[in-house]
Amino acid sequence: MADYAATYDVEKMRAVGDFMYLTLQRDADQEPLKLLIPMDDFFDLKIGLQARLDAWVVTNYLQFQNYYRAWMAARKKLSSRDMTAWQLKDWLVRRRGLDTAKASAVVEEFIARNYLDDQDYAQNKAAYWQGMGSSRKTIRRKLLRDGLEAGLVESVISQMDPDLEYDSARKAALGMLKTMKAQSARYKRQLVVRRLENRGFSPEIARQTGEDLELEQDDGEALQHALDNAARLYISLEEDKRKEKILQYCLRQGFTADEVQERLPDVFARMERQTLAAETGAGHAEEDASADSQED
């Protein structure tokens, strides 16, 4: 009779991913009990509406509710982003409060159910990053950072198409050129080669990419950009100091002293016209303000 009084009746049930969410009720309790139970166990126990569950069965599953909820959260997490086994285990420990053993158990079960696959992760990420212009060196570093085993990473890197390395370098170089408006063609190529090497591309690939670049902007237009930039930077300096600074700035962008000196008079003439126009405008504004004041 005591065992019968302690049993629970299944009033509601709802499938939630790998689990069945049960609403249980018994005479001794005023509020219903919510219980997650693995789907496999649900079918093994032949649970249905109005079925009765022994108290010891319910108590046993209550001990695993945090574990089951962490499992469900992990499944939801994987539906929104790709993760490695190491990343998921770390997330379960840090964000869901599981101990290392339980987090490892979730990860191992996910691998067995093909929810996690480090091989697919590595291959997909390597292809994506290479398509975005990353070098093999950078891809290797990123995969290792994501917790993949070194042997797996090297295997994936070795299977990458070597011809795509040049394509990745070219794509990266074209992105760099978008930010280069005030440099000479020769200096642009040098910058591209240096930056590609810094990103992990081999010196041979970087040099070939730099040589093959087709530059739409000519040096005359680029020099004008450099002069305009320098003029704005050093507009507050005295004329002699300003000339010196503008010259140094343009030399650093790869232009020759003769090229810069040839255009400096035009730059200063334009700056003087702009200054005069600004002063004239300010004077007219003061006159208009004075006239308005007198009228008042």
pTM listed for this prediction: 0.61
Distance CA(144)–CA(139), nearest Å, equals 9
SS3 187: helix
In the prediction, which pLDDT does 170 show?
83
Q: Pick from 244, 190, 254, 249: which is nearest to 219 by CA? A: 254
Query: Which ranges in the chain belong to alpha helices (H)?
Result: 2-6, 39-44, 55-62, 65-80, 85-96, 100-112, 118-131, 136-145, 150-158, 163-177, 185-198, 203-212, 219-233, 239-252, 257-295
Main-chain phi, psi angles of 17, to 5 degrees: 65, -120
Q: Pick from 109, 110, 97, 41: which is nearest to 69 by CA? A: 97
Instruction: Give the residue, 268 or 62, on which the prediction is more confident.
Output: 62
Q: What does the block give as tokens for 295?
A: 């009228």
In the prediction, which pLDDT does 188 show?
81
**Distance from chain centroid for Cα 154:** 23
SS3 204: helix
Instruction: Give the residue, 49 or 209, on which the prediction is more confident.
Output: 49
Distance CA(111)–CA(19), nearest Å, equals 18
Distance CA(105)–CA(110), nearest Å, equals 9
Residue with tokens 């004329």: 239
Judged against a pLDDT cut of 80, whether residue 3 lies above it is answered with no
Task: Express each pLDDT in 184-243 by its tens digit.
Answer: 778 788 888 888 888 778 788 888 788 877 776 566 777 777 788 887 887 777 777 878
